[in-house]
Chains A and B, each alone.
Chain A
């Protein structure tokens, strides 16, 4: 099973600040997916195939990486971005998720 380790576990950012969340895979994966989950809501796809923006997602979000190291970046933090973010891989069965990064607004 591929284990995805996210860091940081929790972080806070001021409006306008840049935020980077990292996802390290225990073995190489071909792509990474990122989801945003706001309190009380279901997850929402942000980034697919490592760096492609899902429909309707603001372009302040971006994804990058390869092999075992991937990242999600929010270029300029906004209050509405406060949420928990999860990475996901399905290169190898079983499909696995990272443990999540809680992002708060300062």
Chain B
């Protein structure tokens, strides 16, 4: 069974940093592109970042480019999202997702950016 378990969320002040982690199990992690997708409270889904199987290629929307960094450790079956210069509009539940024929999702972790 595919399992994606996010951690590292919490309350952080604007301008500060936070790093999310995602522990993957139930599949061969190194064979899949992975992504982060977020959902602001009562809002829709927004793609945040994607990383290739080896980690050599990363992709971001303009809204987070230059502030967020996606990375992975295939030996640990783990995905990460380093978030810098956080803004109030980054407040959301962040989902780790495995890309296959579609996306499988973790349960999500809440990030609140507020002073």
Contacts and interface: CB of A to CB of B under 8 A. Distances in A.
Interface of A: 33, 35, 42-45, 47-49, 52, 54, 86, 88, 93-100
B44 interface: yes
Contacts of A52: 101
Listed from nearest, the 4 A-B pairs whose CB atoms lie closest are A45-B102, A48-B102, A42-B105, A48-B101
A35 B44 CA distance: 12
B44 A99 contact: yes
Interface string B96-115: 00000111111110000000
B108 A42 contact: yes
Interface in B23-59: 35, 44-47, 50, 59
Specify which of A33, A42, A44, A86 lies most central, judged by the most chain B CB atoms within 10 Å of its CB. Answer: A42
B47 A94 contact: yes
B61 A54 contact: no
Given A42-B95, A42-B107, A33 B45 contact: no
A97 B46 CA distance: 7
A47 B103 CA distance: 10
19 contacts: A33-B103, A35-B45, A42-B105, A42-B106, A45-B102, A45-B104, A48-B102, A52-B101, A54-B102, A86-B44, A86-B45, A88-B102, A93-B59, A94-B59, A94-B62, A95-B35, A96-B47, A97-B46, A97-B47
B44 A97 contact: yes
B101 A94 contact: no
